[in-house]
Amino acid sequence: MASVFAGALSAATLIAQTVPAAPPQQATFTKSPYMFSGDAALSLNVIKADKTADFEMIVGKLRAALQKSAKPERAQQAASWKFYKAAESGPNGSAIYVFLVDPVVKGSDYNAPTILSEGFPQDVQPIYRTFADTYITQSILNLSLVADLGK
């Protein structure tokens, strides 16, 4: 048994010595989780119970930023992006907001801070701090259509 283990260890050592070390990796750009890959996207946003007014104010600013943008894709995003508030509360009385994007504008970034910074460049820091302070958690789902029962 010891000789089998020693043989395996020797083989592993030999392999490790003969495989050249990987070159240092370049920094890679990872795609934003807000560049949705599905036909539609759903985001569940759990918001602090005492911060719902702030959150809804930021949603209003997001709408304004999308509407006043000179970028044509922002108007397309606004046309298919809906915000809902669940009647049910979340953990510890938190509020649950659902963002539904259907259809997704392929190749467009739905990152709210990015859109807010385009629309309100002078106010982006306080807006972002207020926005970030509202969140408990967020889950994003990229959805692929399986069936459209209305067609």
Q: Say if residue 149's pLDDT is above 50.
A: yes
**Within a domain: residue 82?**
yes
In contact, 95 and 89? CB cutoff 8 Å: yes
Domain-embedded: residue 123: yes
Domain assignment present for 11: no
Domain membership of residue 115 (yes or no) is yes
Determine the pLDDT at residue 30: 64
Report angle CA 48, 139, 33 to the nearest 5 degrees: 120
pLDDT at residue 32, as a whole number: 86
Segments forming the whole domain that contains residue 120: 43-143
Could you tell me if 58 and 130 are in contact, meaning their C-beta atoms sit under 8 angstroms apart?
A: yes
Does 1 reside within a domain?
no
pLDDT of residue 12 exceeding 80: no
Looking at the predicted structure, is the pLDDT value of residue 67 above 80? Answer: yes
pLDDT digits (tens, 9 = 90+) for 78-116: 999 999 999 999 999 999 999 999 999 999 999 999 999
How far, in whole angstroms, is CA 140 from its chain's centroid?
A: 6
Under the banding of pLDDT at 50, 70 and 90, the label for residue 36 is very high
Does residue 108 fall inside a structural domain? yes
The total number of structural domains that make up the chain: 1
* CA angle centred on 51, ends 85 and 75, rounded to 5°: 55
Specify if 35 maps to a domain: no
Is residue 11 scored above 50 in pLDDT? no
pTM (two decimals): 0.77
Taking the CA atoms of 33, 34, 39 and 40 in sequence, report the sign of the dihedral they define.
positive
Domain assignment present for residue 7? The answer is no
How much is the pLDDT for 31?
76
What mean pLDDT value characterizes the chain? 85
